[in-house]
Structure 1
Amino acid sequence: MAAQKHGPLAGIKVLELGTLIAGPFCSRMLAEFGAEVIKIESPEGGDPIRQWRVLKDGTSLWWSVQARNKKSLSLNMKSPEGQEIARRLALDADIIIENYRPGVLEKWNLGYESLKAINPATIMVRLSGYGQTGPMRDQPGFGAIGEAMGGLRYVSGHPDRPPVRVGISIGDSVAALHGVIGAMMALRHRDVTGGRWNGKRADQCVAGQGQMVDVALYESVFNLMESLVPEFDVAGVVRERTGGALPGIVPSNTYTTKDGENIVIAGNGDAIFHRLMKAIQRNDLADDVQLMRNDGRVPRTAEIDGAIQVWCDTQTIDSPLSILQAADVPVGKIYSVRDMLSDPQFLARNMFEQHHFEDGTAVKVPAMTPKMSETPGVTQWLGPKLGQHNEEILHQLGYTNEQIAEFAHKNII
């Protein structure tokens, strides 16, 4: 594999074995910051996300972001030849990212233990619904199920209605971020224990110690659930749905303005609460001794929220934003994508990049996050065509033009 030239991960080789969201989002972030990512896709249509949501010329606009900077190798993983090609790529990779059901890679002779026996520096990030162990390991687990089991769905929505989902695939994306964190920690451990494998037999080389990073979707969601467990264990408190409010931290809620816009006001710090009440001309609440601390405000949550909403009922959207910002109170309009694209803060931070499809159509995509002062991420190309890099990758593995043509004839690529 030829290394990318840009970013803090330049020179790191990644093999992506997986589809849809969790695994591909994990490798996407590595690709954005310089890793060379080879994505293996089925020759029969490729990753299903190519056809998800809004399409342009038959390909998802999501794909242009989810697969940017990646190289696409179409490969029939059900064939012995395809498995052998994937195995050669896996043994040469610094990181392997996969999100198949547990056991699938082992069936293809690509399991962690078999790779580790040859390359002790192998790092494999495995993302699945329930992890590689436990009674549920073999069950299919999508992000939505992880959100439900991990506790997020239970606390999302209004108390008098069924739970709701966040408007994005948050469970998959949170798992992907845990995969990135695990991969970086594993790379660090490998480097301090000896470094990259030199291609010799395991008993003939001193390589760094690789490891398996086992990411379960439900555990990744569960990891975000703040004080959920100790509150129940010690105090018997089950956190419930509270709509737009932040329970036990007052005031922090969503309010509606006179013109029907929604804003979030977070006046839950003691000094902030005092400034907020002054700003909405409720000196009586600002000076109320009982409300000077959060534990005194919690029993009077409805009263405080009511006072803020009464004030918002008299204001159009720009007014509360300017008044509360001037009072140094955290406040923000709830943005749609239309708001983001014209917002001075987004624009000042260069949060959008403009690129072009092959037909010349311009497209904006999100810029890289996080921002790095010395080694920022770079979009080198948008999501590739299926099999776009077949010849390049196979030539680097040592296959001849004749062999590649034979692979194509036999529908292996």
Structure 2
Amino acid sequence: MGNAPLAGVRIVEISAFVAVPLGTMTLAQLGAEIIRIDPVGGNIDFSRWPVTAAGDSIYWASLNKGKRSVTLDLKSAEGQAIATSLIASAGIVVTNLPALGWLSYDRLTAAREDLIMLSLTGAPDGSPAVDYTVNASSGFPAVTGRGGEPINHVLPAWDVIAGLYVALGIQSAERVRSRTGAGQHVTLALSDVMLATVGNLGYIAEVQANGRSRGPLGNSIYGAYGQDFETADGRRIMVVAISRRHWRALCSATGLTEKLAMIGPMLGVDLESEAGRFAARDAITAVLRPWFASRPADEILTVLASGKVLHGLYQTFEQLVRDDPRCSIDNPMFSTIRQPGLGDVLAPRIPLAFSVSPVPSAVPAPVLGADTDSVLGEIPEPRERVGLGH
């Protein structure tokens, strides 16, 4: 890992759930050394679903690949003192626990003045929130589905985005320290992540400029043409035509150019524009649907690919793992790792590729507490070994 982008960076993590573990794992995949401290027996997320038949958490193992694991009695003064020494030695700590008491920035900077600390909270005032509650107020459930009731998406989008902000925040603060020598306390709130994303995607300005927002569209695409179609063998394919080139490719590949061209004059819209295709989406879909319904998925996929039509085959997680050639050892992003509790599993490295600083392949998540002795033995100042998770 000596040539990896973040080689030589050491970070202590005290966290649970998705955002912080994902953010620090991202840094680990870039070559940083991540030391996760958990209470004895594991934190609240140690047994979170999905789990194996034996009860081992696939969730925990997947979000903690490439880290080192230390367990301490964090409720004891001794365990807190050891954790403080380890944080001071590393110089960077990331947490989504309340930054209070021994874990407060003021207390930790007494042990290391140039400490970098990133604290993730639910809301800016420190009140709790999770992805599911933040999502409910984001506006997205109201425009997901076909209307009638709010629909939650199952992707923990706000946690994932927050995790990447965590990684970016740490790298930014570390760069400041490398230039100026100054540490700092970086704060991030999950609700702010949601608000920033909603604003950056134009949803806030849309309401202010137009006095309203869009409604639910099912699987259509707002402001352009996109629709899902069922094939003769019961599969579903998503087709998208955003640019003029995309639209012409779809018309040509399906052999329906002349029929589709009739829609524009009939409805008084310009099908060469995104707005026109969006306005005529129902009519376009009515012309296209029989073409898809009369052919099996494999034939359609071949035609669309050769015609350079934007498309995607809907598939389950099982189909993704079993049938999709991108999700295989043939993809250089993946490698097979032997994960304790899970066996041999396919695991991705970070999807970034660097021409000069190669990133390491995936590394298994540690056994809980397995690195306690070795990590604490690396703390510069010898300390009495009490409060350990043994």
2:365 counterpart letter in structure 1: G
Instruction: Select which of 74, 79, 82 maps to 2:79.
Output: 82
Work out the CA distance in 2 between the residues paired with 1:187 and 1:263: 45
Give CA-to-partner distance per residue, 1:14-40, whole Å, 9 cap, x none: 010111211111111111221111111
Work out the CA distance in 2 between the residues paired with 1:360 and 1:280: 45
- The question of whether the paired residues in 2 share the 8 Å contact of 1:274 and 1:286 is answered with no
Matches within 5 A, 1:219-368: 219-225=192-198, 226-249=201-224, 251-282=225-256, 283-286=258-261, 288=264, 290-341=270-321, 342-347=323-328, 348-357=330-339, 361-368=343-350
Distance 1:395 1:30, change over 3 A: same
Report the counterpart of residue 203 of structure 1 in structure 2: none
SS of the counterpart of 1:224? Answer: helix
Work out the CA distance in 2 between the residues paired with 1:285 and 1:359: 55
Query: Where in structure 1 are there 5+ consecutive unaligned residues?
Result: 194-207
Distance 1:257 1:32, change over 3 A: same
Further displaced range: 363-372 or 33-42? 363-372
Give CA-to-partner distance per residue, 1:152-186, whole Å, 9 cap, x none: 333322223x2223233222122111111222222
- The question of whether the paired residues in 1 share the 8 Å contact of 2:66 and 2:363 is answered with yes
Work out the CA distance in 1 between the residues paired with 2:3 and 2:43: 27
Query: Where in structure 2 are there 5+ consecutive unaligned residues?
Result: none
SS of the counterpart of 2:205? Answer: helix
Report the counterpart of residue 4 of structure 2 in structure 1: 7
Distance 1:274 1:381, change over 3 A: closer
Report the counterpart of residue 358 of structure 2 in structure 1: 376
Using the TM superposition, give the Cα deviation of residue 356 of structure 1 relative to its aligned residue in structure 2, in angstroms. 2.0
Work out the CA distance in 2 between the residues paired with 1:359 and 1:152: 37
Using the TM superposition, give the Cα deviation of residue 344 of structure 1 relative to its aligned residue in structure 2, in angstroms. 3.2
TM-score normalised to structure 1 length? 0.84
1:105 correspondence with 2:99: yes
Work out the CA distance in 2 between the residues paired with 1:34 and 1:329: 38
Matches within 5 A, 1:166-181: 166-181=153-168
SS of the counterpart of 2:238? Answer: strand
Using the TM superposition, give the Cα deviation of residue 52 of structure 1 relative to its aligned residue in structure 2, in angstroms. 2.4
Work out the CA distance in 2 between the residues paired with 1:50 and 1:359: 12
1:391 correspondence with 2:387: no
Report the counterpart of residue 49 of structure 1 in structure 2: 46
Report the counterpart of residue 201 of structure 1 in structure 2: none
Report the counterpart of residue 125 of structure 1 in structure 2: 118
Give CA-to-partner distance per residue, 1:113-169, whole Å, 9 cap, x none: 3434554432222212113x3xxx32x211111222233333322223x22232332
| Sequence identity (%) | 26
1:291 counterpart letter in structure 2: L
Using the TM superposition, give the Cα deviation of residue 82 of structure 1 relative to its aligned residue in structure 2, in angstroms. 1.4
Instruction: Select which of 74, 94, 115 maps to 2:108.
Output: 115
1:185 correspondence with 2:172: yes
SS of the counterpart of 1:40? Answer: strand
Work out the CA distance in 1 between the residues paired with 2:204 and 2:145: 20
- The question of whether the paired residues in 2 share the 8 Å contact of 1:151 and 1:221 is answered with no
Aligned residues: 380
Q: Please report the RMSD computed on the Cα atoms of aligned residues, expressed in angstroms.
A: 2.5
1:154 correspondence with 2:134: no
1:368 counterpart letter in structure 2: I
Distance 1:338 1:58, change over 3 A: closer
- The question of whether the paired residues in 1 share the 8 Å contact of 2:260 and 2:287 is answered with no
Further displaced range: 336-345 or 218-227? 336-345
- The question of whether the paired residues in 2 share the 8 Å contact of 1:149 and 1:218 is answered with no
Instruction: Select which of 150, 164, 169 maps to 1:163.
Output: 150
Work out the CA distance in 1 between the residues paired with 2:278 and 2:147: 17
1:394 counterpart letter in structure 2: L
Using the TM superposition, give the Cα deviation of residue 47 of structure 1 relative to its aligned residue in structure 2, in angstroms. 4.8
- The question of whether the paired residues in 1 share the 8 Å contact of 2:159 and 2:190 is answered with yes
Work out the CA distance in 2 between the residues paired with 1:97 and 1:6: 24
Work out the CA distance in 1 between the residues paired with 2:90 and 2:182: 14
Distance 1:371 1:52, change over 3 A: same
